[in-house]
Amino acid sequence: MSLDVRAAAGSHAPPRPRREITTAFLVSRVVVLAVAAALLVYAAPPLVAAGSWPALVVLGLATAAIAYLYLTRRFIPAKYLIPGTVFLIAFQVFPVLYTVSTAFTNFGDGHRGDKQAAITAIETGSVRQAPGSPEYSLTTALKGDRLVFLLVDPKTKQVQAGDPAGLAPVPGAQVGVTGKVLRAPGFTVLTAPQAAARAQQIAALAVPTRGGLIKANGLSRAVEGRSALVYDARCDCVQGEGDRWKADEGQGYFVNATGAHLAQGWQVSVGFANFSRVLTNPTISGYFIGVFGWNVVFALASVGATFALGMAVALALHHPRMRGTRFYRIALILPYAMPSFAMLLVWRDMFNRDFGLINQLFGLDVDWMGQPSTARFAVILVNLWLGFPYMFLVTTGALQAIPRELTEAASIDGATPWQGFRKVTLPLLLVALTPLLISSFAYNFNNFNAIALTSEGGPFPAESPQVGATDLLITYTFRLAFGTYGAQFGFAASISVFIFAIVAIISAVAFRRTRRQEEVYA
């Protein structure tokens, strides 16, 4: 991606001493600046409300920088370079940094929020109705401009007013058939819409009683309850139900003496624990070599097969005596134009043993996705079908750039067509296409959809249900991180870091080799 940006910037921005001001120039500047300003106006209030001052400063500086950059006549290369750089930061650098930082936390199910949120959840989650307390029916009212609860005991029909000071009897109140207070001297009864408008205040009002607190439960009922579990800041622990759970900042849980923890936890930094888990967990390290080996085979076979087929078709259509090339080209691009998601699912059903098209068409009885070898063959075949139009397209493009004189000259010199292809066309093609082949390898190395939507990693041997014959590293670890015990984002992030490192190393080595090759043929 960075390559493209550099190339674009280099070719499009020749230094120009003075630029005449055209209408288009003026309009484009006004539009850009207006959009930048609009985004500032749009994004600033939420940031202010959330109190994210650093983000606000970054936003302000970025807007100011854009305004300056596109108002000045200087920095012409930067005008072209900046958009690409911003995209690079937003979509490449930031996600990578965010993933890496997540890898050092226990972020995941049970550890999504902070400690305060966990405490709130524990306390509100343990509120139980006070035993024997009445199911008050609730009417909200105003006394002056203060909100009060008018509580009716359904059994005794006694009316009491509740406010933060406590309960007080209300003489002379008139109660309707539904249990709602219709009129009460000294109070202004709120209608349903008026009460709904004050929903936040109603939620906040708690009437203290001897046994706990009376809180609204919706707009028409109130319940006397008490938190069974209460956080105590002095001991940094949660107490109640005859037990005590102490905060453990290493795990992000409240843990009791026996080692059991409360369900609600919070996000903490766990250092290298996720990474060491990847390296030491026997279910991961034990199968790593096998999965990695198949993963490399899958990626190489996908790239090799799609390239071979795509190139063969491109060469055939490139032949000067070929007729109807336009029609063939359209037909060949079809698989590429169809959504791969749907196609993968269709292919999966075609490989079904009893109902699939393939067995019915060829009169076979092969359990394609049920045996390791056939399942592997099937997923590569599907990937070939999905992938070759791309290779066909890029090869067709690259072929146009190879002068026909070269192959003609070779044939005059006595080369067979095969020799001409092998010694002239292919090397020149590879110079142009190797970077694409490498990126295709990296893509297929992590081709989650191609596996997850067809074989789902299977077939799985009965003895080891965790790893299937067609599992790639990405599908296998996805299952470990998300399939087994809720979402474990921190752990998943650490696995991504490993896979990132593997792909980066392979790609770097391959690019280095390509450069040497280019030096030979350039």
Partner 1 sequence: MRKRALGVAALTSLALAATACGGSQPGTPSAAPSGSAAASSSAPADKGSGKLVIWADPNRVKALKPFAEQFGTENGVTVEVKEISKDNQQTFLTASQQGSGPDIMVGAHDWIGNLVQNGAIDPVNLTDAQKAAFPEIAIKAVTFDGQVMAAPYAVENIALIRNTKLAPEAPATLEDMVKKGKELKAAGKVKEVLCLPVAQKGDAFHVYPIFAAGGGSLFGTTASGDPDPKKVLLGSPDSVKAFGKLKELGEKGDGALKTSITNENYVASFAGGKCAFLISGPWAMGDVKKGGISYDITPVPSFKDGKPATPFVGVQSFFVASKGKSKTLAQEFVANYVTNKDVAKALYAADPRPPALTEALQEVGATDPDAGKFMDAGKNGLPMPAIPEMQAVWEPFGIAEAAVVKGGDAAKAAEAAQKAIDSSLKN
> 163 to 202, contacts with partner 1 by CB under 8 A?
192-202
- How many residues touch partner 1 under the rule CB under 8 A: the total is 107
Q: Which of residues 254-283 bind partner 1 (CB under 8 A)?
A: 263-265, 283
Phi/psi of residue 292, nearest 5 degrees? -60, -45
Q: How far is CA 314 from the centre of its chain?
A: 37
Cα–Cα separations (whole angstroms), residue 453 to 80, 347, 371, 450, 489: 40, 9, 17, 6, 22
Expressed in percent and rounded to 5, the helix, strand and coil fractions of the chain are 60, 15, 30
Q: Which of residues 207-226 bind partner 1 (CB under 8 A)?
A: 216-221, 223, 225
Q: How far apart are CA 457 and CA 450, in angstroms?
A: 10
Q: Which is nearer to partner 1, 135 or 153 (CB)?
A: 135
Tokens 């592997």 belong to 376
250 residue type, one letter: G
- Does 452 interact with partner 1 (rule: CB under 8 A)? no
Of 179, 208, 372, 458, which one interacts with partner 1 (CB under 8 A)? 458
Of 461, 501, 505, 511, which one interacts with partner 1 (CB under 8 A)? 461
Number of H-type helices and E-type strands within the chain: 20, 15
Of 479, 498, 502, 510, which one interacts with partner 1 (CB under 8 A)? 479
Q: Which is nearer to partner 1, 272 or 485 (CB)?
A: 485
Q: Which of residues 62-101 bind partner 1 (CB under 8 A)?
A: 62-63, 66, 70, 79-80, 82-83, 86-87, 89-90, 94, 98
Q: Which is nearer to partner 1, 452 or 510 (CB)?
A: 452
Could you tell me the two tokens for 242?
């005859």
Q: How far apart are CA 50 and CA 31, in angstroms?
A: 29
Of 103, 118, 273, 453, which one interacts with partner 1 (CB under 8 A)? 118
| Cα end-to-end span (Å), the chain | 23
- Does 243 interact with partner 1 (rule: CB under 8 A)? no
Instruction: State whether residue 321 is helix, strand or coil.
Output: coil
Q: How far apart are CA 155 and CA 137, in angstroms?
A: 11
Phi/psi of residue 265, nearest 5 degrees? -125, -175
Smallest separation, CB 261 to partner 1 (Å): 10
Q: How far apart are CA 151 and CA 214, in angstroms?
A: 10
Task: Show the site string, 23-62: x = touches partner 1 by CB under 8 A, - = not.
Answer: -xx-xxx-xx--xx--x--xx---x-xxxx-xx--xx--x
Q: Which of residues 8-27 bind partner 1 (CB under 8 A)?
A: 12, 22, 24-25, 27
- Does 301 interact with partner 1 (rule: CB under 8 A)? no
Task: Show the site string, 395-434: x = touches partner 1 by CB under 8 A, - = not.
Answer: ----------------------------------------
